[in-house]
Amino acid sequence: MGATDRIIRLLIAVAIGILYFTNVISGTLAIVLGILAGVFVLTSFIGFCPLYLPLGINTCRNKKK
C-alpha cells in the first residue's frame, strides 16, 4: 500500500469521526461508517489491505534499480 493510499484512508477515517462527533450521522449509518473508519485506520497502520490481494491492486510504487 502506497503512502498516498494510507493518507487518503486516514483522512476519510478522520472525516467520518468528525461527522459522528458533530451528530451529522447517527444510528445504523454511524455504526457502519465507524467500522469502515476503523478498518481504514488499521489497514493504514499495517500497510496492507486484504481486499487488494484478490483484486490485484497495488498502490505501492515500484523502485527501479
Q: Quick check: 7 pLDDT over 90?
A: yes
Q: Give the domain ranges of the chain.
A: 1-64
Q: Which residue has the cell 462527533?
A: 21
- What number is the average pLDDT over the span 5-29? 95
H-helix segments, the chain: 3-21, 27-46, 52-55
The pLDDT of residue 55 is: 82
| pTM over cut 0.85 | no
Q: Residue 43 class from Cβ within 10 Å (0-12 exposed, 13-18 middle, 19+ buried)?
A: buried
